[in-house]
Amino acid sequence: MRPLINRYILCIAILSIVFLQISSAIPPLPSEFYGNIQIDEKPAQVGLMVIAKLDNKECGNITVKKEGIYGGESTFDQRLIVSCGDVPVSGTVTFWVNGNCADKAAVLSAGSSQKIDLNVRTGNKAPSIVVTPGENENIFSNSVPTKKATFTVIPIIVSILLICIFMRRKL
């Protein structure tokens, strides 16, 4: 009898995982970037747009409001917000100005705020340095669970299985 019970328990576990995986995830917190920016060694001009890409998909942008600076460090300063909905919270963020890639990229860390000074060279299409976040925690990659929700049918299925088990045991 015990192997049979173990088989049912295994089925329950598999079904639960299936249902859990098809449900949506908690949206991870955005990442924030700010710092100095130069275009071909010169401070970026006001009005230029800095675009952040994750896997070649634009995930945020910011306009240079002060020459040579994108975003600020004060609490209510505007910063480059990188948010891709509930897509994976890992990856490398690249920074682009007028189709040219900045020398630095950043490892995405949900909820992090990083000061990264960028240098954009004309014709550059890939970063040469990848910056990892400092002590900023990534609560979305470490927490359990972070991306799971359940359907209400799961308890029903579990109940049916338990009844089956109970009846089999009686038999």
Partner 1 sequence: MRKTVARTGYNDILNILILITLASLFIIINGNAVSLFADNLSTDLHGTVNFKIQDMSDIEEKSIIWFFDGHVDVNNNGKSSLDYVFNHPGDYSVLARYKAKNDEKGGETNAIRIHVNSPQFKLLVPDSTTLISNTKFTALSLPQGFNIAWDFGDGSFAKETVASHSYIKPGIYSINATFYDIFNNEFMLSRQIKVYPLAKWYEKILSVNSTSGGQVKFIDDSPGSVSGWLWNFGDGESSTEKSPVHTYKRLGTYSASLIVTKDGLTSTNENEKNVVIFNSIEEINVNPVQPEPNTPVTVSVDIADDYKDKVNYIRYQWGDSSPDEYGTQGPDFQSSHTYNWEAIFTLTIVSYAVGSSDPIDIVKIPIKVYKKTTPSSDFEAIPKQNGVAPFPVKFKVKLDEKGSNLPTGYVWNFGDGSSLSSEASPLHTYEKLGVYTVDLWTTNEKGNSNTTKNGFILVGDPPNNPCDFTAIPDTVYPGEPVQFIDTSIAEHNSNYWSFGDSSEDNSNEMNPIHVYKSANPEGYNVYLNIYKDGRIVGTSPIKKIIVKQREKNDSNFYLLLKPGWNLVSTPLKLAKGFDNIERLFKNTDMESHSVFQYNPVTGWKVMKGTDILHPLDAVWVYSNTTTNVDLYFENRQNIIQTDKNLTEGWNMIGASGVESFSVTDFLSQLQGNWTTLYYFDADKRAFQAILKNSIGNAKVNPGEGYWIYANGQGTIKEINIT
- Residue 21 is a binding residue for partner 1 (CB under 8 A): no
Distance between terminal CA atoms of the chain? 11
- Tell me, by CB under 8 A, how many residues bind partner 1: 35
- Residue 148 is a binding residue for partner 1 (CB under 8 A): yes
- Residue 127 is a binding residue for partner 1 (CB under 8 A): no
The stretch among 36-44, 82-90, 100-108, 120-128 that binds partner 1 (CB under 8 A) is 82-90
Which of 115/121 has CB closer to partner 1?
A: 115
- Residue 56 is a binding residue for partner 1 (CB under 8 A): no
DSSP letters spanning 102-138: EEEEEE--TT-EEE--EEE-TT--S-SEEEPP-S---
Distance (Å, whole) CA 95 – CA 131: 12
| Helix/strand/coil percentages in the chain, nearest 5 | 25, 30, 45
Farthest CA pair distance, the chain: 83
- Residue 29 is a binding residue for partner 1 (CB under 8 A): yes
| 80 CB-near residues (< 8 Å, 6+ apart) | 32, 33, 34, 50, 52, 60, 61, 62, 70, 71, 95
Which of 56/74 has CB closer to partner 1?
A: 74
- Residue 129 is a binding residue for partner 1 (CB under 8 A): no
The stretch among 95-103, 119-127, 134-142, 160-168 that binds partner 1 (CB under 8 A) is 134-142
Q: Which residue has the tokens 């600020």?
A: 72
The stretch among 20-28, 36-44, 51-59, 121-129 that binds partner 1 (CB under 8 A) is 20-28
Which amino acid is present at 54? L
Distance (Å, whole) CA 71 – CA 42: 17
Which of 14/26 has CB closer to partner 1?
A: 26
Residues in contact with partner 1 by CB under 8 A are 23-24, 26-27, 29-30, 32, 34, 73-79, 81, 83, 85-86, 111, 113, 115, 137, 139, 142-146, 148-152, 155
